[in-house]
A and B are shown apart, each in its own frame.
Chain A
Amino acid sequence: MSSTSTVSSEILGIADVDKALKRIAHEIVERNTDLSDVVIVGMQTGGTWIASRLHENIAQISPAVSVPLGAVDISMYRDDFSLRPIVLSAPTDIPVDLTGRTVVLVDDVLFTGRTVRAALEALNDHGRPRAVQLAVMVDRGHRELPIRPDYVGKNIPTHFSDEVSVGPEGVTVVVASGETA
C-alpha cells in the first residue's frame, strides 16, 4: 500500500470568488443585449451554486428582467460510466422550453470538456436553444474535445492529476507531489 503526499494551495479566496461572480454577471449582461431570451442553467452538482449566485447578481444589475434559473443533471448522458462513480444529486429542472433561448450553462471547473459535451446533449432534450454559452469558475486546461468557455473566473494551469476544488469560500489546487511507500 502506498500513500501520496499532497500540497494544497489556495488560488482564489472568498473575496476573489465574489468578485469573479460579479464580473461574469456583468459580462453576461453586456454580451446578451436582449436578456429576456437568457436562461441560466447550472450543472449538477458543482455548477448549481455558481448559477444561483450569477442569477442573483444579474437580477441586481438588471432588475427589470426576470431571467429563469435551472439545473441539468448529466448522469444519464455520460460517456464514461465505467470510469467514474455515478453521483446522483438532484434531478434536472429546466423551467422553460429552451427552443429559441440563449442558455448560459454554468459549471465549477472546465477540464476535459466531457461533462460539457454531455450537458449539451442533455439540454437538447429540452428544446433547441438558439445559442449556448459556457461560464466556468475555473478553466484548468487539458481539453479532450473542441469546447471552450465564454466566461471564465480564473484560468489555472494544472497537471492532469491535480485536483481543483471550487466552493463559495475559495478555489484550491491540490498537487500530488510524490509517492511514499
Chain B
Amino acid sequence: MKHLLSTRDLSTEDIVSILAMADHMAEINSRALPKVPALRGRTIASVFFEDSTRTRLSFETAATRLSAEVMTFIASSSSVNKGESLRDTIETLSAMGVDAFVVRHKSSGAPQQITQWTDAAVVNAGDGWHQHPTQALLDAYTITRNFHELNSMHGRTVAIVGDIKHSRVARSDIDVFTRLGAQVVLVAPAAFLPTSLDGWGVTTADSLDDVVGVVDVVYMLRIQRERMDEAQLPSLREYSSLFALTPERAARMQSHALLLHPGPINRGIEMTVDPSLVPGSRILQQVTNGISIRMAVLFSLLGGDATITLSNGVEG
C-alpha cells in the first residue's frame, strides 16, 4: 500500500490488518508515556485546504506518538491566498523533504491528483463528498471492539442517519461496514439520498422511528444548515421531527446498541438528545480510537517496504 486515498484501495484483509495494528497502537496510547520510536526521522506534512481542527490534530498527534516530525500547512494562512497553485504547494513542500502528505481538500479527487506531483505517500483526510477513509476505519474499529468481534461486523445492522448524499463519511463507512459483513440502512429524506443506490448494498428507511429500536448501531451524520436550503427541505423542524435523535428515540435504542457521530455535533439539529446521557454513546471513544487508527495507517505506509502479515499468538 503506497497511498490511502479511498477505502476502495484497501482489501478486506488490509482493513482487518489495520484494525489489528490499531490494537497495538491503543496499548501504546494507554501508557503513561504514549510514544514509540517507530517513525523516527520521517516527516509528515498535514496539508489542510479546508478547515478541520480535529482531524488535523488527530493525525498530528498520531504522527508525534510515532516520533515522526510534523509540518503543518493550513491554506487560510498560507500563500494559497497569494494564488499559489495546489501543484506548486505540494512540489514546494516535497522539496523540503516530506515522507507523507495528509491532505484535506474541498474538491473530490484532490489527494489522487497530488500523488502525481510527489513521491511521498498521500493519505486522504477527507476530499469533497468523496471519501474519508480513516474515519471509516476508526468507526469500524470502534464498532468491532465494542462488540468483541475483531474481524467482522457480520450480523450487525447499522443505521446511518442524515445527509448521505453530501457525506464523504457515509460513502467510506458504507463501503467498509458492508465489506465487513454489516447490513446498512440509510435513514434520510429523498433529497439527502444519492440519486441511485445501485451496487451500494444498502437499504433505506423513511424515518428514524422505523429503525431506532432494532439496529445495533445508530450513526448520526452532521447536518449542515446551508444544505437545508439547497435540498429545498421544507424546514428544519420538519426534518428534525422525522430524523433527529431525540431523547425519546434514544431511549428506544436496544440496550447493547451504540451511538456514533463523526463530529462536530450540531446540537439541536441532528441530535436534540445530550449524547452524554445516552448509555450507548461512543462518540468520545471514536475520537480516542481515531489516534490509534491514524497511527496504524501512518505506520503501514511508512513503517517498511514489506507487507504486513498477521500471526496469531503463540507459535514455535
Q: CB-CB < 8 A to B303: which residues of A?
A: 81, 86
Cα-based distance from A78 to B306 in the complex (angstroms): 14
Residue of A46, A85, A88 with highest tally of chain B CB at under 10 A: A88
Decide: A48 and B314 in contact? CB cutoff 8 A: yes
- What is the number of residues of chain A that contact chain B, defined by CB distance less than 8 Å? 32
Cα-based distance from A75 to B309 in the complex (angstroms): 12
Chain A-chain B contacts (Cβ-Cβ < 8 Å), number: 83
Asked whether any CB of chain A lies closer than 8 Å to the CB of B82, the reply is: no
Decide: A76 and B306 in contact? CB cutoff 8 A: no
Cβ distance A7 to chain B, nearest Cβ, rounded Å: 19
Decide: B313 and A85 in contact? CB cutoff 8 A: no
Decide: B309 and A125 in contact? CB cutoff 8 A: no
- B12-27 CB contacts (< 8 Å) to partner A: 17, 20-21, 23-24, 26-27
Decide: A88 and B306 in contact? CB cutoff 8 A: no
Q: Specify the main secondary structure of chain B where it touches its partner.
A: loop
Q: Select A89's contact among B33, B38, B311, beta carbons within 8 Å.
A: B311
Decide: A166 and B37 in contact? CB cutoff 8 A: no
Q: CB-CB < 8 A to A87: which residues of B?
A: 309-311
Q: A73-B24, A88-B17 are in contact. Are A82 and B313 (CB under 8 A)?
A: no
Specify the chain A residue showing the minimal Cβ separation from B296: A88
Interface size of B as a range: 20 to 34
Asked whether any CB of chain A lies closer than 8 Å to the CB of B299, the reply is: yes
Q: CB-CB < 8 A to B37: which residues of A?
A: 76-77, 121
Cβ distance B232 to chain A, nearest Cβ, rounded Å: 50
Cβ distance A124 to chain B, nearest Cβ, rounded Å: 9
Cβ distance B209 to chain A, nearest Cβ, rounded Å: 41
Q: CB-CB < 8 A to A76: which residues of B?
A: 24, 28, 36-38, 66, 299
Closest 5 CB pairs of A and B: A167-B316, A81-B304, A85-B306, A76-B36, A91-B27
12 A-B pairs in the complex with CB atoms less than 8 angstroms apart: A48-B314, A76-B36, A76-B66, A82-B304, A82-B305, A82-B306, A84-B306, A86-B304, A86-B309, A88-B309, A125-B35, A167-B316
